[in-house]
Structure 1
Amino acid sequence: MKRLVDTDLGTTRLSVRDSFGLDSDLEVMAFAEPGEHVPEADPNYHFDPDTTLAILAGFSCNRRVLIQGMHGTGKSTHIEQVAARLNWPCIRVNLDGHISRLDLVGRDAIVLRDGRQVTEFKEGILPWALQRPMALVLDEYDAGRPEVMFVLQRILERDGYFTLLDQNRVIAPHSGFRLFATANSVGLGDSSGLYYGVQRLNHAQLDRWNIVATLNYLSPETEIEIVAVQVPELNHPEGRRLIAAMVEVAALTRAGFQSGDLSTLMSPRTLISWAENLRIFQSPARAFRYAFLNKCDASEQDVVAEYFQRCFDMDLGTTAADPLRGHGDGI
């Protein structure tokens, strides 16, 4: 790994070509040593080239990066794994319905000082992160409440100054502060009903995101490799043939979703859960029911069962102990 030494902040500079195998001359700052809040690196993680390059541009050039895509594609994990290889501290905040403006900005709190109760201002996550070398990831960005979203408006600017009205204080962002977000939609809401709670985004705010990347589902070959690594008990020729059939079922559910036959689909996360369930229950059919079928609408389960039968040459009602019926002798 090529490291170009930088003298300030205890950092180095990495060649993207050498460190991530991408066809780019981009160099990105990295911290020489991991510290608190640096995610744990997964040595087997598979990086999508386009998404990785967008994230690296965010780290290198202080660009605001929004990653959009279907559930389970690994949007947040992608950012974390890039940060892990850069030794860059990274925290994730889920913009669910319980996150309020006070959680982001801060509030007055009663604390003990020298045995006496006093009121003092406690900073929220935004001013805290802004003043540190920190990658802040806003998960479920398109599900945030309107009053929360407008708090974020100012820090989306390039300089990103943040005003604490309660303190009459303006916070300048640290030179190592970076801002990312993930979303299932790209600000237009969700007409499919798949992502309940998704909001239409203010386009003046959406326009402030410098880079918008889309992370799609992976190729079948890549998904096979990922499942084989995550569930090593299946990482042999017979097991890989089983995984290939599982990936084929997942692909059929995604095609069925796109054509309107299904209202849900199998994500890579669900695919890995199916493989892990197989390790427990020793039956592809039973493991599939627990991982995916029981999440489907009752009116659609016959369609899903047909997908399974087509790929496994096995009725979904079969719960025999043989885990590889039609695919070999066992895990």
Structure 2
Amino acid sequence: MTHIAVDSPDQTVSVRDTFGLDVDLEVPAFSHRDGLVPEIDPAYRFNREVTLALLAGFSGNRRVMLQGLHGTGKSTHIEQVAARLNWPCLRVNLDGHISRMDLVGRDAIVLQEGKQITEFQEGIVPWALRRPVALIFDEYDAGRPDVMFVIQRLLERDGRFTLLDQNRVIQAHAWFRLFATANTVGLGNVNGMYHGTQVLNHAQLDRWNIIATLNYLPQQDEVDIVVAQVPQLDDERGRDQVGAMVELANLTRQGFAAGDLSSLMSPRTVITWAENSRLFGDVGLAFRLSFLNRCDEIERTIVAEYYERCFGEELAEASDWSEAT
């Protein structure tokens, strides 16, 4: 495992200067970086409410869950806060392959002085718990029940973690921090968008100190983010193009909310579309390859109408779809 350079924060930083928020706060931070600290994205834009919630997690040892629709940058937001605090960060995706043994540990056969012996190999949780690490559980609402009850122990106020196989109790490091991201608030796959998500135990949800929401941004903020990621579009013409892209994305989100569409464009999809438009030199082709081809065939006519409304031109092949339907 990676060595942690410093055992505890050794400085404070200004929230105003570090995150660009109009708040007079100082938060603890590390002066040195190690291999677990995420890289800083200088173009990243911080959401005020979410940033303050995450900073409460880092500075006040609050357990913070970040909930929101896909592609809104929930995990990235946590990482970018950690990056500016030089806080070591470990992300674990709770997909169906993560087991209780992965989190807790298991007995393994190892060679020692030429002999095979059985030795306990600690899992992710005990390793992180004893260090000043921000442990992030991604796709928290997709975790298996046996895994979720392991995590429930970490949410207790005293933070103690019992290794039953070793008859040991681990006391959490004073600067260990716990975060999670989820697409739902424990309600499961109610709208068909998030297959594999589970209905969460509400007693466990109640143990999270803060639940913040990160959804889609105002249009101009989203335009700024896309342009920051694709700087070749940072001129008047490029910004107009990105503005039309974000406007179309908002129409798909409204269409989804109204039940007209079964899929929507996330900010991640808009960035991919902008990148592909530079690659192909054709906004319409890039749109088809980035989003339209994943839509249900009977819905493509609606999406093509959105495109025409935003760009003032008909999307190629749209007339063929109209005749087919």
Report the TM range for the smaller structure's normalisation: over 0.9
Matched residues in 1 for 2:214 and 2:124: separation? 27
1:8: how far off?
7.9
Compute the displacement of 1:20 (Å): 2.0
Q: Distance in 2 between matches of 1:8 and 1:110?
A: 31
Kept in 1, the 8 Å contact 2:8–2:132? The answer is no
Letter of the structure 1 residue corresponding to residue 14 of structure 2: S
DSSP-derived class of the 1:302 partner? helix
Q: Distance in 2 between matches of 1:55 and 1:164?
A: 29
Q: How does 1:62-211 map to 2 (within 5 A)?
A: 62-211=61-210
* CA distance in structure 2 between the partners assigned to 1:240 and 1:25 by the alignment: 33
Match of 2:308 in 1: 309
Instruction: Write the distance in 1 (CA, Å) between the matches of 2:43 and 2:287.
Output: 25
What SS does the corresponding residue of 2:181 show, helix, strand or coil?
A: strand
Structure 1 residue 21, shift from structure 2 partner? 3.0
Segment drifting more, 23-32 vs 252-261: 23-32
**Does 2:52 align with 1:53?**
yes
SS of the residue corresponding to residue 252 of structure 2 reads: helix
Does 2:272 correspond to 1:237?
no
User: Displacement of 1:18 after TM fit?
Assistant: 3.3
Matched residue type, 2:166: Q
SS at match of 1:9: coil
Q: Which residue of the partner structure matches residue 29 of structure 2?
A: 30
- In structure 2, give the amino acid aligned to 1:13: T
Give the Cα separation in 2 of the matches to 1:137 and 1:55. Answer: 12
CA distance in 2, matches of 1:25, 1:149: 37
Displacement after TM superposition at 1:318 (Å): 6.8
CA contact (8 A) 2:7 2:131 kept: no
Q: Report how far residue 10 of structure 1 moved.
A: 5.5
How much has 1:16 moved relative to structure 2? 2.0
Residues of 1 paired with 2:174 and 2:130: CA distance?
A: 9
Output the amino acid matched with 1:178.
R
**Conserved in 1, the CA contact under 8 Å of 2:183 and 2:194?**
yes
Deviation of 1:298 after TM superposition, in Å, equals 1.1
5+ residue gaps, structure 1: 1-6, 320-331
Amino acid at match of 2:43: N
- Helix, strand or coil at the partner of 1:288: helix
Local SS of the residue matching 2:118:
strand
For residue 132 of structure 2, give the secondary structure of its aligned residue in structure 1.
Answer: coil
State the distance in 1 between where 2:14 and 2:201 align: 36
- CA contact under 8 A between 1:38 and 1:84: conserved in structure 2? yes
Distance, in Å, in 2 between the alignment partners of 1:30 and 1:20 is 13
Paired with 1:19 and 1:233, the residues of 2 have a C-alpha distance of 26
Compute the TM-score of the two structures, normalised by the length of structure 1: 0.92
Per the TM alignment, residue 191 of structure 1 is displaced from its structure 2 partner at its CA by: 1.2
Which amino acid is 1:273 matched to? Answer: T
> In structure 1, what is the Cα distance between the partners aligned to 2:283 and 2:9?
51
| 3-state SS, counterpart of residue 91 of structure 1 | strand
Distance across 2 between alignment mates of 1:24 and 1:146? 40
Distance 1:275 1:198 in 2: 30
Q: What's the counterpart of residue 289 of structure 2?
A: 290
TM-score (norm 2): 0.94
Of the structure 1 ranges 58-67 and 309-318, higher mean CA displacement relative to structure 2 is found in: 309-318
* Percentage of identical aligned residues: 66
